[in-house]
């Protein structure tokens, strides 16, 4: 099989720190190469892969302000479709825009929908529903307006997450974008009411929100913001935490940090929105809570959770190897129709 893997160009593939879509694309690509698939990765020029790399964008536009996103996105996507006849299948991770090229070529395309940024993008997906193939990353993230070939959960490189049967620290952790959707404000409230230290890690995606709800607390004892972190620091922070706080305010399509936390043995306290009930077994991998008050109670009972069970959940359901195997089944199903 000759496969074209279309990655976003916001960040390098794999990302140096933040870049969840690019991280997933890298894990799929490298797993497929190990499985003997001929993969060409379309990504930024500084990307790293054991497959073939085809690139026009020098760097991710989030890393270089001189790169105008729309210009390089268009140049990047066109590279795949101008070479479509060289491949048996195109795997699109670039959201909806590549769908508008898909009927101009005979090569079939499967699109992993990494979430809907807005209902306003649905018309594009609806238009190409009958001629393309869609994969959802959770059952909760499926649109009733679309047909799907499969749901494939994200997997992680579990060997890079160290299991700890007991936390090495006395802190709670918030690991994600500093944004209202992610509930950074509520994480601070939960930690304060529970009388626990809190470490915040992630990129600032909403500066006004950060200035209003986060920054004032950094002058107080017990709240620390460490910014975006790389793989080694991520493993340390996740593994040594008492629990990961995930009080989200949106229907999260998946939640990589949740799975990464459980891989380290660290239970998760989350609001039950989006995919959270699919990832977290309430009372075994952590707690699904409806508000700040319930989250505080969950913190008090966090020692009830068997950290070994958290790790085993990831080993059984959310490894990169399982993800790659499931995508191979999707590819075989599509190619059988062509």
List the beta bridge partners of residue 199.
173, 224
Q: Are 238 and 161 in contact (CB under 8 A)?
A: yes
308 in helix, strand or coil?
Answer: helix
What is the C-alpha separation between 314 and 174, in angstroms, rounded?
20
Query: What are 294's two structure tokens?
Result: 């319930």
Which residue segments constitute the domains of the chain, with CATH numbers given? 2-155+319-336 (3.40.50.2000), 158-317 (3.40.50.2000)
The predicted structure's pLDDT at residue 338: 87
Contacts 24+ apart (CB under 8 A), 144-149: 149/110, 149/330, 149/333, 149/334
Q: How far apart are CA 138 and CA 24, in angstroms?
A: 14
What is the predicted pLDDT for the residue at 189? 98
For residue 177, what are the CA distances in angstroms to 23, 128, 149, 152, 228? 16, 31, 30, 23, 9
Report the distance separating Cα 31 and Cα 323, nearest Å. Answer: 9
pLDDT digits (tens, 9 = 90+) for 203-258: 999 999 999 999 999 988 899 999 999 889 999 999 999 999 999 999 999 999 99
Q: What is the pLDDT of residue 17?
A: 86
**CA–CA dist 338, 189 (Å, integer):** 54
Are 106 and 22 in contact by the 8 Å Cβ rule? The answer is: no
Q: Which two tokens stand for residue 319?
A: 């490894």
pLDDT of residue 220: 82
d(CA 277, CA 269): 11
Number of C-beta neighbours around residue 250 at 10 A:
14
The answer to whether residues 230 and 241 touch, using CB atoms and an 8 Å cutoff, is: no
Q: How far is CA 60 from CA 17, 24, 287, in A?
A: 13, 16, 37
Model pLDDT, residue 219: 85
Question: How far, in Å, CA of 62 to CA of 41, rounded?
Answer: 19
Please tell me whether residue 171 adopts helix, strand or coil conformation. strand
Distance of alpha carbon 269 from alpha carbon 246, whole angstroms: 6
Below-50 pLDDT ranges, the chain: none
Closest to 94 (Cα-Cα) out of 206, 4, 228 = 4
Instruction: Look at residue 228 in the predicted model and tell me its pLDDT.
Output: 93
Ordered strands of the 150-151 beta sheet: 52-54, 38-42, 2-6, 89-92, 109-113, 133-136, 150-151
> Which distant-in-sequence residues (6+ apart) come within 8 Å of 64 by Cβ?
58
pLDDT for 43 equals: 98
């Amino acid at each position: 099989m000759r496969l074209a893997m279309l990655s976003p160009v916001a960040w390098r593939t794999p990302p140096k720190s933040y870049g969840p879509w690019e991280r997933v694309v890298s894990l799929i690509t490298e797993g497929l190469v190990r499985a003997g698939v001929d993969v060409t990765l379309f990504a930024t020029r500084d990307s790293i892969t054991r497959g073939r790399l085809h690139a026009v964008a020098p760097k991710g536009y989030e890393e270089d302000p001189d790169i105008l996103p729309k210009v390089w996105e268009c140049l990047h996507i066109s590279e795949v479709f101008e070479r479509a006849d060289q491949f048996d299948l195109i795997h699109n991770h670039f959201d909806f825009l590549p769908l508008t090229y898909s009927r101009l070529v005979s090569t079939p395309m499967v699109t992993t929908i990494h979430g809907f940024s807005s209902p306003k993008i649905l018309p594009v997906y609806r238009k190409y529903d009958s001629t393309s193939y869609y994969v959802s990353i959770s059952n909760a993230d499926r649109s009733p307006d679309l047909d799907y070939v499969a749901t494939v959960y994200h997997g992680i490189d579990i060997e890079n997450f160290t299991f700890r049967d007991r936390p090495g620290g006395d802190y709670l952790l918030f690991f994600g974008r500093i944004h209202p959707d992610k509930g950074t404000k509520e994480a601070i409230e939960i930690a304060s009411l529970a009388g626990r230290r809190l470490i915040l890690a992630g990129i600032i995606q909403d500066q006004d929100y950060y200035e209003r709800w986060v920054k004032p607390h950094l002058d107080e004892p017990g709240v620390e913001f460490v910014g975006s972190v790389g793989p080694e620091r991520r493993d340390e922070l996740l593994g040594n935490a008492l629990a990961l706080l995930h009080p989200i305010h949106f229907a999260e399509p998946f939640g990589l940090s949740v799975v990464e936390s459980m891989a380290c043995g660290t239970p998760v306290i989350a609001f039950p929105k989006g995919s959270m009930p699919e990832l977290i077994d309430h009372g075994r991998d952590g707690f699904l809570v409806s508000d700040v008050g319930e989250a505080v109670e969950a913190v008090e009972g966090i020692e009830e959770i068997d950290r070994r069970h958290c790790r085993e959940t990831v080993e059984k359901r959310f490894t990169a190897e399982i993800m790659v195997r499931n995508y191979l089944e999707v590819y075989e199903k599509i190619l059988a129709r062509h």
